[in-house]
Amino acid sequence: MYRSHTCGELRESHINNTVTLSGWVQKSRDKGFMIWIDLRDRYGITQLIFDEERTASDLMEKAKMLGREFVIQVTGTVIERTSKNPKISTGNIEILVSDLEILNESLTPPFTIEDETDGGDDIRMKYRYLDIRRNPVRENLIFRHKVTMAVRNYLSEKEFVEVETPYLIKSTPEGARDFVVPSRMNEGQFYALPQSPQTFKQLLMVGGMDKYFQIVKCFRDEDLRADRQPEFTQIDCEMAFVEQEDILNTFEGLTRHIIKEIKGVEIGEFPRMTYDEAMQRYGNDKPDIRFGMEFGELNEVAKHKEFGVFNNAELVVGIAVPGGNSYSRKEIDKLIDWIKRPQVGALGMVYVRCNEDGSYKSSVDKFYDQDDLAKWAEVTGAKAGDLICVLSGDTLKVRTQLSALRMELAERLGLRKTDEFAPLWVVDFPLLEWDEDTERYHAMHHPFTSPKPEQIELLKTKPGEVKANAYDIVLNGNEIGGGSIRIHDKETQAMMFDYLGFTPEEAKAQFGFLMDAFQYGAPPHGGIAFGLDRLVSILGGQETIRDFIAFPKNNSGRDVMIDAPAPIDDTQLKELCLKLDLKA
Amino acid sequence: MYRSHTCGELRESHINNTVTLSGWVQKSRDKGFMIWIDLRDRYGITQLIFDEERTASDLMEKAKMLGREFVIQVTGTVIERTSKNPKISTGNIEILVSDLEILNESLTPPFTIEDETDGGDDIRMKYRYLDIRRNPVRENLIFRHKVTMAVRNYLSEKEFVEVETPYLIKSTPEGARDFVVPSRMNEGQFYALPQSPQTFKQLLMVGGMDKYFQIVKCFRDEDLRADRQPEFTQIDCEMAFVEQEDILNTFEGLTRHIIKEIKGVEIGEFPRMTYDEAMQRYGNDKPDIRFGMEFGELNEVAKHKEFGVFNNAELVVGIAVPGGNSYSRKEIDKLIDWIKRPQVGALGMVYVRCNEDGSYKSSVDKFYDQDDLAKWAEVTGAKAGDLICVLSGDTLKVRTQLSALRMELAERLGLRKTDEFAPLWVVDFPLLEWDEDTERYHAMHHPFTSPKPEQIELLKTKPGEVKANAYDIVLNGNEIGGGSIRIHDKETQAMMFDYLGFTPEEAKAQFGFLMDAFQYGAPPHGGIAFGLDRLVSILGGQETIRDFIAFPKNNSGRDVMIDAPAPIDDTQLKELCLKLDLKA
């Protein structure tokens, strides 16, 4: 038995007990006649004491040799501490050690095992097993576990069944790129790793499972942007005999439960907003509604003068920045530089200072008078002391730019509070989106999403205007989940594949099994998938998913700790009937 | 809203209520003036009634058109049934339908959707989504979910943390064959899918997670024997600061909890048996102890006569078959044929009939007298009316053969009762096993298993005799889990790799990260992994894991429903820098 208690467990009530603890040497203070050691395990820290008067001299000597991160086992007596430490749960006691065994030594770790470490990202990833010893990382992983347990228990309670779907499936060239797995037993053929269990969960609905969920790894071989992982985890859900309303209510319930259970925060009914409204009010289909700064469209009150920039723009739109009138000219110039960066891409910005005396001072005073500017203030909701920022141009572009500015300013103003949770539903997404590169429509959600039934006719004439029974759940400006009511009949599904540019042969080869299934009594069904990594990081008050993944990969898709991927043996390649065909 | 209630929900207390149900047409009986329909969903069956006197004639017509597996929605009034059906929970009521909507039609399914179907294995796999509509398959999947929830809640309660380990890892040529995944971003390099999260869970222990578990898919590219799947699920567990005893107690607790929670059966302390004892008493390292028929070693009482077959054998060993004296000569001959089959491979069998009058009649009466045979009966525990079956030859082979015979006879005698649960621990496994093909030792468990500390010296002289801190948990003659105390220091690990024939360079290339980790304060640790598919099928009283997997693969590793694996596009191959190099 390596321990009678953990390092987080002992209290004053244990005084005089003989106990055995095991753990890591967090730090050691050697005063010569007395040595204190902080012993650490997952559960806490307990102070050990060795003292000339009460400790055998060979034990003193042994204690002096202990270095940081040595693994030791000690036996001793719990005694009251003279100088108590109220910051830790065991701070009232310490252990007078009578026996010490070194279970394992340690080299000096390459960075400090402290909450605030001196290790950079790269070294922490290479020695991730040491990084995990640090409280913040370990607590993130425990937090993630708590979230998944809350999800599983809630959904099980509601009669959802977790069903494991296969990982070795079939590649479908449509959508994102698949990771593929050569099959040795089926020469020249490949499995693919699932980008999501989408078709399988639909087949489970056809199979009458009624309510399905799964917390499951998914894979996408994409060029990695910051904070994307080639493998990621979804809370994947599907229900039969449901309309959109049923899905929204069920998963609003789940989300509310998680926030209550994990964060202790009660949330009322989630607001709902159409995609069109979200774009109009926030320039974004995942608006952060923890703060205002809503868009004010200024076309009617800004296009009547001689200002060509506005007159030629499709959309003139502004936001009121609270207290922004205090910005110096230099600060405003820097803001203008910021929105002109290629990542945002605005051509310029018009601004209006709302003075405390009710007057206005704008960068376009040449064209607009006080009455005009008062109207702008009214539309954007600007009050005395605010700054109105106005952009103009093509609707979609200018909305995206102003949304970026809104988020940036909110960040700077401290309006994105990590302990505040503002979920909402965005509904009525467009069914299709135009892709400039391929010059055809793509499914905005995926090809299994059903168009609004009353708009099916519109598909023939104005496909871009057709809305889908598709919805996203948004939390604090992040899409944490999305889903749709699915197509459940073969004809509509075939028609959709046709619109998306599949030949009937391609559709049959890739999704024949699903369309076959639809012919044998498929029920109406729909679902949703949450991105677990993102959800957990937002609930944890952070925005980097990597901090909530035990062994993440870097931006080149490498695990730098185990050094993967790596070359494989020629015999392995031969067995798989493959040859390397390197470009270089 | 598609339904106000499910098809398993309505009772007499709902009589006169107006309800809406949705589901599948299970069957329809049309008497002309009256039509009954069994409407089915996951939760049960409810009888619908349409009747000339009370139902509108167009609705009667519509009801007549409904075929098997049509998906319908009905609204109607709950009424009392005249002829009640006590077999189903809704058997006291029926629905007088006032409104019927066909949600989806169905072709005639290729097999009947009944508990006992007329569909063979192949067709059921091709249309697995229809197979899942059958109660036994669906209930198996729900059963599996209940088991995983019980496991997760029990372990969470005991402070285990479920941590997701990566799926895209590194190939290690040692052990079973890996599935590999070409990396597009790292030309000519490959990930491997994990055969188990072994090294990662050990790194989590080095990282101080203390108690880890994960229910996780694992992958092995083996030639598939019956009832093996290329992807399978493990309950993977690891603990730090533990000795073998701690692990056995913890997971005995888990197993006891599952059997209690899921099957309502209370199990006392699990028996423990060393590997050597299990081999001696049952010829098997996973003995089924639900019944006796233990081995009796007969060397001392059978090698003293002129019978060369026994005298030249390393081991003479027998079992007593209860009531076996009733077997006819023909039946015994068939048994002898059975053990001579190449799958078992015995050269012959000696038998002794134990007559009711206390006399014996054997196939070797020429060599042995009644006193000899009485001793055999004593050693094998045979009673009057039994049959003693005796095999002889090389120890390991003959034990395996007699074990096969014991299991076969127990099966025939109905001794392997599916509602009886007899778990046990088999401990003290050998560390190494000799491999005839490669003429070297292999790790019996895996290379991370620690030898018994007191036997480390023996490694140099008699490596085959060294025992490991390794254990299996056995249930009803199946290994449901196995594990070990791990090596946690770099020197021992390096020595093990050396014994296993790794050069230092190979060891470093493949497991350098683990040996590095051991230098930074690795705690003593150990763990276990349960095979979930097997565990669930045994708890479910069946022995075919495929019945407990939603979408299993066939013996060629194919998913015949989605038709995977499949060829991929040339562009995909090109992006991965690969060329096919087919043998044909």
For the stretch B145-176, pLDDT in tens is 999 999 999 999 999 999 999 999 998 766 78
How many angstroms separate the CA atoms of B240 and B205, rounded? Answer: 6
Contacts of A217 in chain B (CB under 8 A): 164, 167, 217
Across chain A, what does the average pLDDT equal? 95
B566 touches chain A (CB under 8 A): yes
The bridge status of strand B525-531 relative to strand B478-485 is antiparallel
How many angstroms separate the CA atoms of A548 and A147, rounded? Answer: 12
Q: CA of B558: which chain A residue's CA is closest?
A: A186
How many angstroms separate the CA atoms of B24 and A16, rounded? Answer: 70
The whole-number pLDDT of residue A501 equals 86
Query: Å from A21 to nearest chain B CA?
Result: 10
Asked whether the beta carbons of residue A565 and residue B190 sit closer than 8 angstroms, the reply is: yes
How many angstroms separate the CA atoms of A572 and A555, rounded? Answer: 27
Model confidence pTM above 0.90:
yes
β-pair partners for A28 = A37
Least confident of A222-236, A312-326, A554-568, B273-287: A222-236
Q: Which of A408, A435, A415 is nearest to A341 (CA)?
A: A408
By three-state DSSP, how is residue B185 classified? coil
How many angstroms separate the CA atoms of A436 and A154, rounded? Answer: 43
The whole-number pLDDT of residue A438 equals 81
**Residue/partner pairs of B486-490 with CB below 8 Å, 24 or more apart:** B486/B202, B486/B448, B486/B449, B486/B450, B486/B525, B486/B526, B486/B527, B487/B448, B487/B449, B487/B450, B487/B518, B488/A104, B488/B450, B488/B518, B488/B522, B488/B523, B488/B524, B488/B525, B489/A104, B489/B518, B489/B522, B490/B515, B490/B518, B490/B519
Contacts of A69 in chain B (CB under 8 A): 520-521
Q: Which helix (H) or strand (E) holds B425?
A: strand B423-427
The bridge status of strand B578-580 relative to strand A578-580 is antiparallel
Contact by Cβ (8 Å): A197, A144: no
How many angstroms separate the CA atoms of A160 and B148, rounded? Answer: 13
The whole-number pLDDT of residue A52 equals 93
Asked whether the beta carbons of residue B577 and residue A579 sit closer than 8 angstroms, the reply is: no
Q: How many CB atoms lie within 10 A of CB A459?
A: 18
How many angstroms separate the CA atoms of B6 and B20, rounded? Answer: 9
Q: What is the pLDDT of residues A271-295, one digit of tens each?
A: 999 999 999 999 999 999 999 999 9
Q: Which helix (H) or strand (E) holds B531?
A: strand B525-531
The whole-number pLDDT of residue A227 equals 77
Instruction: Report which residue type is found at A11.
Output: R
DSSP string, A222-290: -PPPTT--SEEEEEEEEEES--HHHHHHHHHHHHHHHHHHHH-----SPPEEEHHHHHHHHSSSS---S
Cis before A194 (ω within 30)? no
Contact by Cβ (8 Å): A48, A76: yes
Contact by Cβ (8 Å): A166, A200: yes
Query: Å from A54 to nearest chain B CA?
Result: 28
The bridge status of strand B231-240 relative to strand B525-531 is antiparallel
How many angstroms separate the CA atoms of B547 and B138, rounded? Answer: 10
Q: What is the DSSP letter of A165?
A: P
Contacts of A551 in chain B (CB under 8 A): 165-166, 200, 203
Exposed/middle/buried for B287, CB within 10 Å: 0-12, 13-18, 19+?
Answer: buried
How many angstroms separate the CA atoms of B5 and B9, rounded? Answer: 6
The whole-number pLDDT of residue A584 equals 64
Q: Which of B209, B210, B579 sits opposite A581 (nearest CB)?
A: B579
β-pair partners for B23 = B72
Contact by Cβ (8 Å): A64, A36: no
- Statement: residue A184 has pLDDT above 90: yes
Query: Å from A342 to nearest chain B CA?
Result: 26
DSSP string, B433-488: EEETTTTEEEESS-TTBPBPGGGTTHHHH-GGG-BBSEEEEEETTEEEEEEEEBP-
* B203 alpha-carbon distance from chain centroid: 28
Contact by Cβ (8 Å): A100, A63: yes
Contact by Cβ (8 Å): B391, B317: yes
DSSP string, A519-560: TBTPPPEEEEEEEHHHHHHHHTT---GGGG-SS---TTS-BT
Asked whether the beta carbons of residue A171 and residue B572 sit closer than 8 angstroms, the reply is: yes
Across chain B, what does the average pLDDT equal? 95
Contact by Cβ (8 Å): B213, B235: yes
- Statement: residue A582 has pLDDT above 90: no
- Statement: residue A173 has pLDDT above 80: no
In chain B, the domains with their CATH numbers are: 12-104 (2.40.50.140), 138-273+423-549 (3.30.930.10), 291-412 (3.30.1360.30)
Contacts of B573 in chain A (CB under 8 A): 581
Contacts of B210 in chain A (CB under 8 A): 41-43
Residues 6+ apart with CB under 8 A from B332: B351, B387
**Which tokens go with A528?**
């949703």
Query: Å from A234 to nearest chain B CA?
Result: 12
Q: Which of A211, A512, A559 sits opposite B166 (nearest CB)?
A: A559
Q: Which of A141, A575, A578 sits opposite B161 (nearest CB)?
A: A141
How many angstroms separate the CA atoms of A565 and B178, rounded? Answer: 13
Q: CA of A191: which chain B residue's CA is closest?
A: B565
B186 touches chain A (CB under 8 A): yes
Asked whether the beta carbons of residue B180 and residue A132 sit closer than 8 angstroms, the reply is: no
Disruptive mutation site among A111, A181, A221, A561 for chain B (greatest number of B CBs within 10 Å): A181
Confidence label for A174 from pLDDT (cuts 50, 70 and 90): low
* A553 alpha-carbon distance from chain centroid: 15
Asked whether the beta carbons of residue B180 and residue A568 sit closer than 8 angstroms, the reply is: yes
Disruptive mutation site among B9, B191, B492, B535 for chain A (greatest number of A CBs within 10 Å): B191
Instruction: Report which residue type is found at B239.
Output: M
Region of residue B272 (left: phi > 0; alpha: psi -120 to 50; beta: else):
beta
Q: CA of B143: which chain A residue's CA is closest?
A: A161
- Statement: residue A493 has pLDDT above 90: yes
The whole-number pLDDT of residue B488 equals 96
Q: How many CB atoms lie within 10 A of CB B334?
A: 11
B238 touches chain A (CB under 8 A): no
Q: Which of B3, B5, B7 is nearest to B90 (CA)?
A: B7
The residue ranges of chain B whose pLDDT is under 50 are: none
B9 touches chain A (CB under 8 A): no
Asked whether the beta carbons of residue B572 and residue A69 sit closer than 8 angstroms, the reply is: no
Q: Which of B167, B182, B206 sits opposite A231 (nearest CB)?
A: B167
**Residue/partner pairs of A30-37 with CB below 8 Å, 24 or more apart:** A30/A64, A35/A60, A35/A63, A35/A64, A36/A94, A37/A63, A37/A66
